[in-house]
C-alpha cells in the first residue's frame, strides 16, 4: 500500500499516475468523485482525459474493501483517487445533509473509520499494489464552520491510519513528490 498526500492541486494525481505507469500496464483506477454540478463534471472529465485509456475505471466510493477483493485482476495495480472525496461522500450520505448542529460527529466518524479500517485490511490482503491518493488538510487554517472542522479532523485521523499501514508515503508539494516513509 502506497499513500500519496498533499494539498489541493499539488500534483498528487499526476505523481501517482506517473509512479504507476512506470511499473504497471494494467491498472484498476477507482474514482471516488461523483458528478454534483457542471464544474465537478468538468473536473472528472479532465481527470479521465489525463489517464491512459487502457486503464480500467470504476466510479464508486463505498465498500472499497469489497471492490478490491472482487474486482482486482491478476497483475493489476490499483489506484484509489481519492480518500478525501470518499470521506466527504460517505459523510454526506450518513448525515443526510442534516444541519451540522444536529449531528453526532462521533457516531458519524465511527462509521467512516470502519470503512477506512476495512479498506486497509483489504489492501493488506491483496497481492496487488494499491496506491491511495488523499488530501493533507492539516496544513491550512482551522475552518470557521463546525462541519468543516469535523471533516478536517475525520480526514486527518483517516490519513494517519492509512500512513501507518502503508509501506510508502509520499508528500507532493508544487508538483514535486517527496518520499517521507
Q: Are 20 and 76 in contact (CB under 8 A)?
A: no
* pLDDT for 58: 94
- Rounded to the nearest 5°, which phi and psi values hold at 72? -70, 130
- What integer is the mean pLDDT of 13-24? 94
* pLDDT for 156: 96
* pLDDT for 18: 94
* pLDDT for 158: 97
Please give the Cα distance from 135 to 109 (Å, whole number): 17
**What DSSP character marks residue 141?**
P
pTM: 0.93
Residues labelled as active-site residues? 47
Q: How far apart are the first and last CA of the chain?
A: 12
Specify the range with the lowest mean pLDDT, choosing from 40-54, 101-115, 145-159: 40-54
Dihedral of alpha carbons 107, 121, 47, 138, sign: positive
* pLDDT for 175: 94
| Residues shown for the chain | 181
Q: Are 64 and 80 in contact (CB under 8 A)?
A: yes
Residue located via cell numbers 469535523:
150
Specify the range with the lowest mean pLDDT, choosing from 97-106, 119-128, 149-158: 97-106
* pLDDT for 33: 87
Cβ within 8 Å of residue 97, ≥6 positions away: none
Q: Is the pLDDT of residue 171 over 90?
A: yes
- What integer is the mean pLDDT of 111-129? 97
Amino acid at each position: 500500500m502506497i499513500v500519496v498526500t498533499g494539498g489541493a492541486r499539488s500534483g498528487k494525481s499526476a505523481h501517482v499516475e506517473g509512479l504507476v505507469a512506470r511499473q504497471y500496464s494494467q491498472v484498476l483506477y477507482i474514482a471516488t468523485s461523483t458528478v454534483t454540478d457542471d464544474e465537478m463534471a468538468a473536473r472528472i472529465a479532465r481527470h479521465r482525459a489525463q489517464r491512459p485509456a487502457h486503464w480500467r475505471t470504476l466510479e464508486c466510493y463505498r465498500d472499497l474493501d469489497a471492490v478490491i477483493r472482487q474486482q482486482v485482476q491478476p497483475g493489476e495495480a490499483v489506484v484509489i483517487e481519492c480518500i478525501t472525496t470518499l470521506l466527504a461522500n460517505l459523510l454526506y450520505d450518513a448525515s443526510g445533509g442534516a444541519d451540522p448542529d444536529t449531528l453526532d460527529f462521533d457516531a458519524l466518524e465511527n462509521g467512516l473509520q470502519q470503512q477506512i479500517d476495512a479498506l486497509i485490511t483489504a489492501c493488506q490482503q491483496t497481492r496487488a499494489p494499491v496506491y491511495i491518493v488523499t488530501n493533507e488538510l492539516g496544513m491550512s487554517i482551522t475552518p470557521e464552520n463546525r462541519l468543516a472542522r469535523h471533516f478536517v479532523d475525520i480526514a486527518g485521523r483517516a490519513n494517519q491510519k492509512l500512513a501507518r499501514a502503508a509501506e510508502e508515503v509520499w508528500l507532493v508539494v508544487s508538483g514535486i513528490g517527496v518520499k517521507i516513509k
